[in-house]
């Protein structure tokens, strides 16, 4: 696809702009900003990736993955600002998931140890983990605040902080995992995943594209479970004082 052809796709941007203007949705500015940001970010990433892929140097791969993790932490941490030390907790979660998944993928020779594979799969893992973390933090803090009387009851009877919010923790882990599980149930029926479609458009063998997509599906399932569980267990203690008292959570 040439840059000229690509520019024709801006027609798809004019549609929401037109609708926003006509229906007074007030989304024109945001639409333009989103279009400009995605264009600049993706073009920049394209050149960076080209450089990293060409160099095949481990340090650039690590730096690229670290950049993804830092960006994901930056984006997700606002949702968990009520939790003390949320920045490093998110960082530890994303790093642990990345290390674990790459160890399995590379250790078992499931994918070759090249920048092309490592960075692409890391992007999917970290991106999914970030969305999961946001969903989990949103739900967890809201659940704890909504069931404060129940938690205080358990604490007042001599329960531990973990016992007092166990139900809310499990419910939030479950709730944050449901979208991933549900979307994967209909994969191939309702939607063709982006990566698979991209590979097919680029001329790859559809069966091989399916194989890679399955790898990603399984990877994302594991990511979903690990993100919520790890983040949940790292975070819940921060909602209590040293004297096992439940702190007030600012949901705004």
Binding residues vs another protein (CB under 8 A): 149-150, 152-160, 163, 167, 241, 243-246, 248
Instruction: Tell me how far, at minimum, the Cβ of 64 lies from another protein, in Å.
Output: 45
Instruction: Tell me how far, at minimum, the Cβ of 154 lies from another protein, in Å.
Output: 7
The phi, psi pair for 191, rounded to 5°, reads -135, 145
Would you say 81 or 171 has its CB closer to another protein? 171
Euclidean distance between CA atoms 104 and 229, whole angstroms: 19
Task: List C-alpha distances in Å: 187 to 142, 208, 227.
Answer: 30, 16, 21
Would you say 28 or 152 has its CB closer to another protein? 152
Provide DSSP, 218-252: HHHHHHHHHHHHHHHHHHGGGGB-TTS-BPPP---
Would you say 161 or 193 has its CB closer to another protein? 161
Provide DSSP, 42-59: HHHHHHHHHHHHHH--HH
Euclidean distance between CA atoms 203 and 85, whole angstroms: 46
| Pick from 176, 80, 88: nearest CA to 131 | 176
For residue 187, the SS3 value is: strand
Would you say 185 or 243 has its CB closer to another protein? 243
Instruction: Tell me how far, at minimum, the Cβ of 142 lies from another protein, in Å.
Output: 18
Would you say 163 or 197 has its CB closer to another protein? 163
Instruction: Tell me how far, at minimum, the Cβ of 153 lies from another protein, in Å.
Output: 5
Euclidean distance between CA atoms 193 and 213, whole angstroms: 8
Instruction: Tell me how far, at minimum, the Cβ of 155 lies from another protein, in Å.
Output: 6
């Amino acid at each position: 696809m040439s840059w000229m052809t690509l520019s024709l796709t801006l027609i798809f941007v004019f549609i929401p702009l037109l609708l926003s203007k006509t229906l007074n949705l007030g989304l024109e500015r945001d639409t333009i900003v989103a279009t400009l940001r995605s264009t600049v970010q993706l073009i920049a990433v394209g050149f960076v990736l080209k450089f990293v892929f060409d160099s095949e140097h481990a340090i650039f791969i690590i730096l690229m993955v670290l950049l993804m993790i830092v960006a994901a932490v930056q984006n997700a941490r606002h949702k968990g600002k009520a939790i003390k030390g949320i920045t490093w907790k998110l960082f530890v979660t994303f790093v642990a998931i990345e290390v674990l998944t790459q160890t399995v993928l590379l250790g078992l020779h499931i994918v070759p140890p090249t920048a092309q594979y490592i960075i692409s799969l890391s992007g999917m893992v970290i991106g999914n983990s970030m969305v999961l973390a946001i969903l989990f933090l949103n739900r967890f803090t809201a659940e704890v605040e909504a069931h404060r009387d129940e938690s205080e009851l358990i604490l007042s009877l001599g329960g531990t902080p973990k016992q007092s919010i166990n139900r809310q923790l499990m419910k939030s882990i479950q709730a944050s995992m449901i979208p991933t599980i549900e979307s994967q149930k209909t994969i191939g029926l309702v939607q063709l995943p982006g990566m698979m479609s991209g590979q097919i458009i680029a001329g790859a063998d559809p069966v091989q594209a399916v194989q890679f997509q399955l790898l990603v599906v399984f990877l994302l399932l594991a990511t979903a479970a690990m993100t919520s569980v790890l983040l949940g267990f790292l975070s819940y203690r921060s909602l209590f004082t040293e004297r096992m008292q439940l702190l007030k959570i600012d949901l705004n």
